[in-house]
Amino acid sequence: MAEIRLNNLTKRWGDFVGVDDQSLHIKDEEFLVLLGPSGCGKTTTMRMIAGLEDPTAGEIWIGDRMVNDDLPKDRDVAMVFQNYGLYPHMTIFDNIAYPLKVRGTPKADIEPRVKKAAEQVELTEFLHRKPKALSGGQRQRVALARAIVRTPKVFLMDEPLSNLDAKLRVTMRAELKHLSRELQITTVYVTHDQIEAMTLADRVAVMKNGVIQQLGTPDDIYNDPANMFVAGFIGSPAMNLINGSVQSGMFVTTGGTKLVGIGAPDRETAILGVRADDMSVHDAGQGDIDVSIYAFENTGESTLLTVQWGKQRVIARGDRHLRKEQGETVGIKLDPDHLYLFDPDSGDRIRLGGK
């Protein structure tokens, strides 16, 4: 068990910058998720912690030891790979036992520990099989068991759920969460799936182009995004970003509709961010703006209305009993407490009225 410190970590391949001078302090027993689109440097960051990639510059500390020059085997970490990285020529038992065997654990200790790890991931009955005789979810469990069979200082998980089908992913996610609470070992988890990030993390680091955009609790990231990228990346459906300007305290869309009072100084261009959940659907004339429905979708637990908003389309979430037809006009009301304003050029958040 240990904390991880990354000090001014940089990874470059020629001119390409994978990770750009990032510092990060991961607390002991914390579950930290690195979240971002592909190519944002999240996996590279994790591989540098594991020792599978050498940093171009910067320091990596695990506990009170600088591990830059340590081989992966000497860093005392355990890793779960996206493609599982199982040993196909070994039985499940030998797969799970491998980290113990190769580190010279006494033979008598190996069996009970493998059995315990297998129990924790509910694999006991498959121990004699080979990986190819298991399903994807079971293979993922083997990879997990192989990681938890030792008590490493740090867990590293590289998109461990992304090869599973949607249903299994939800179950495995809960199992991971349960397991991580039980084990209380510092964990770094890489994913591009914001739901995984929201549900699993103590803190999330949202990355883009090798730079951490925001580091905070899932609540912070969702409710208080630092910039337009984070706002647009988190949430499903993504936050609506509406082009317009601020004129005498009102947000005015590009089409010229005065939309909503907003406590911000006037500016010629601005982007208003509003989540689908923070809009309410009313009859025509009853909301802040009347719009026509471009598409009406019923997802079962709610309804999604894609509406034509001038030249843009915006998604609002409606009650699950709401029924509307395509082409109908509805009034949309915005929740004034949950509006975000961004600078369209820099993408920076413009803080509203003291918030």
Cis peptide upstream of residue 225 (ω within 30 degrees of 0): no
Based on the shown chain and the rule CB under 8 A, indicate whether residue 99 belongs to the binding site for another protein: yes
Q: Which stretch binds another protein (CB under 8 A): 26-34, 139-147, 188-196, 237-245?
A: 139-147
39, 58, 72, 331: residue in contact with another protein (rule CB under 8 A): 72
Contact in structure between 331 and 285 (CB atoms under 8 Å): yes
Based on the shown chain and the rule CB under 8 A, indicate whether residue 52 belongs to the binding site for another protein: yes
DSSP-assigned beta bridge partners for residue 298: 303
Site for another protein in 158-177 (CB under 8 A): 163
Site for another protein in 76-95 (CB under 8 A): 77-79, 81-89
Both tokens assigned to 126: 């498959």
136, 249, 255, 327: residue in contact with another protein (rule CB under 8 A): 136
How many angstroms separate the CA atoms of 77 and 62, rounded? 9
Would you say 83 or 184 has its CB closer to another protein? 83
Q: Which stretch binds another protein (CB under 8 A): 110-118, 136-144, 247-255, 330-338?
A: 136-144
Based on the shown chain and the rule CB under 8 A, indicate whether residue 37 belongs to the binding site for another protein: no
Give the three-state DSSP class for 262.
coil
For residues 35-73, b (16+ Cβ closer than 10 Å) or e, as one string?
bbeeebbbbbbbbbbbbebebeebebbbbeeebeeeeee
Based on the shown chain and the rule CB under 8 A, indicate whether residue 146 belongs to the binding site for another protein: yes
Least Å from the CB of residue 346 to another protein = 38
Based on the shown chain and the rule CB under 8 A, indicate whether residue 144 belongs to the binding site for another protein: no
Interaction pattern, residues 104-133, with another protein; x per rule: CB under 8 A: --------------------------xxxx
Residue with tokens 């594991």: 50
Based on the shown chain and the rule CB under 8 A, indicate whether residue 61 belongs to the binding site for another protein: no
Q: If DSSP states are collapsed to H, E and C, what string results for 101-131? A: HHCCCCHHHHHHHHHHHHHHCCCHHHCCCCH
Contact in structure between 336 and 287 (CB atoms under 8 Å): no
**Which parts of this chain interact with another protein (CB under 8 A)?**
50-52, 71-73, 75, 77-79, 81-89, 98-99, 102-103, 130-134, 136, 139, 143, 146, 156, 163
